[in-house]
Amino acid sequence: MTAASLPQRPTLVTLARHIGVSRQTVSNVINAPHLVKPSTRERVLKAVIESGYRPSVAARTLRTNRSMMLGLRLFPINNGITRAVMDRFLHQLATIAHAHGYRLTLFTAADDSEELDQLLELAQRGAIDGCVLTDTSATDNRPEVLAAEGVQFVSFGRPWGQPGATHPWVDVDGGAGTAKATAHLQSLGHERIGFLGWPTGSGVGDDRHSGWLRTLSAAGRADADVLTVRVEDGTRAGAQGMHQLLEAGATAIVCTSDTLALGAASAAQKVGIALPVIGFDDTPTAAALGMSSVAQPLEEAAVAILEALVAILTGRAVEPRTTLLKPDLVLRAEGLFRIPQPPERN
Partner 1 sequence: MASPTAQQRPTLVSLAREVGVSRQTVANVINAPHLVKPSTRERVLKAILESGYRPSLVGRTQRTNRSMMLGLRLLPLHGGVTRAVMDRFLHFLAKVAHAHGYRLTLFTAADTNEELAQLLELAQKGAIDAAILTDTTDGDARPDVLAAERVNFVAFGRPWGRPESAHSWVDVDGAAGTAAATSYLIAAGHERIGFLGWRDMTGGGEDRRIGWERTLPRSVTAEAGRLFVGLEDSAEDGFAGAQRLAETGATALVCASDVLAMGAAACVRSSGQNLPIIGFDDTPAAAALGLSSVAQPLEEAAVEILATLVAILADTQEAPTHTLLSPKLVIRSGGPCRPPEDRV
Between 104 and 339, whose beta carbon lies closer to partner 1? 104
Between 77 and 331, whose beta carbon lies closer to partner 1? 77
248 interacts with partner 1 by CB under 8 A? no
**Beta strand pairing status for 328-330 and 292-295?**
antiparallel
Rounded to a whole number of angstroms, the minimum distance from the CB of residue 200 to partner 1 is 24
87 interacts with partner 1 by CB under 8 A? yes
**What are the residues whose beta carbons fall under 8 Å from the beta carbon of 183, sequence distance 6 or more?**
215
- Candidates 33-41, 68-76, 195-203, 248-256; binding stretch for partner 1 (CB under 8 A): 68-76
Q: Which H or E element spans position 60?
A: helix 57-64
Count the residues of the shown chain that bind partner 1, applying the rule CB under 8 A: 64
77 interacts with partner 1 by CB under 8 A? yes
Dmax (CA) of the chain: 73
Phi and psi (nearest 5°) for 237? -60, -35
- Nearest C-alpha neighbor of 16 from the set 63, 59, 48, 64: 48
* List 14, 27, 134, 266, residue binding partner 1 (CB under 8 A): 266
Rounded to a whole number of angstroms, the minimum distance from the CB of residue 24 to partner 1 is 24
123 interacts with partner 1 by CB under 8 A? no
Category of 170 on φ-ψ map: left (φ > 0), alpha (ψ -120 to 50) or beta: beta
150 interacts with partner 1 by CB under 8 A? no
Q: Provide the H-helix boundaries in 188-223.
A: 203-218
Structure-derived torsion over alpha carbons of residues 284, 109, 99, 204, reported in degrees to the nearest 10: 50
DSSP string, 218-261: HTT---TTTTEEE--SSHHHHHHHHHHHHHTT-SEEEESSHHHH
Between 101 and 211, whose beta carbon lies closer to partner 1? 101
Rounded to a whole number of angstroms, the minimum distance from the CB of residue 6 to partner 1 is 8
Instruction: Quote the CA–CA distance of 101 and 289 in Å, as a whole number.
Output: 37
- Candidates 155-163, 216-224, 280-288, 322-330; binding stretch for partner 1 (CB under 8 A): 280-288
Between 216 and 239, whose beta carbon lies closer to partner 1? 239
Instruction: Quote the CA–CA distance of 160 and 140 in Å, as a whole number.
Output: 8
- Candidates 49-57, 154-162, 204-212, 338-346; binding stretch for partner 1 (CB under 8 A): 49-57
* List 91, 166, 217, 223, residue binding partner 1 (CB under 8 A): 91
Between 98 and 321, whose beta carbon lies closer to partner 1? 98
**What are the residues whose beta carbons fall under 8 Å from the beta carbon of 71, sequence distance 6 or more?**
104, 105, 107, 118, 119, 122, 123, 128, 130, 131, 132
Between 57 and 183, whose beta carbon lies closer to partner 1? 57
- Nearest C-alpha neighbor of 135 from the set 119, 157, 164: 157
Crossing angle of helices 298-313 and 85-99, in 10° steps, is 50
Rounded to a whole number of angstroms, the minimum distance from the CB of residue 27 to partner 1 is 19
Rounded to a whole number of angstroms, the minimum distance from the CB of residue 68 to partner 1 is 9
Helix, strand, or coil here: 203? helix
Between 61 and 134, whose beta carbon lies closer to partner 1? 61
CA 242 to the chain's CA centroid: 26
Which residues between 296 and 335 bind partner 1 (CB under 8 A)?
A: 335
210 interacts with partner 1 by CB under 8 A? no
Write out the residues near partner 1 by the rule CB under 8 A.
Answer: 1-2, 5-6, 9, 51-52, 54, 57-58, 61, 67, 69, 74, 76-77, 79-81, 84, 87-88, 90-92, 94-95, 97-98, 103-111, 113-114, 116-118, 121, 125, 127, 141, 145, 235, 239, 259, 262-263, 266-267, 270, 284-285, 287-290, 335-336
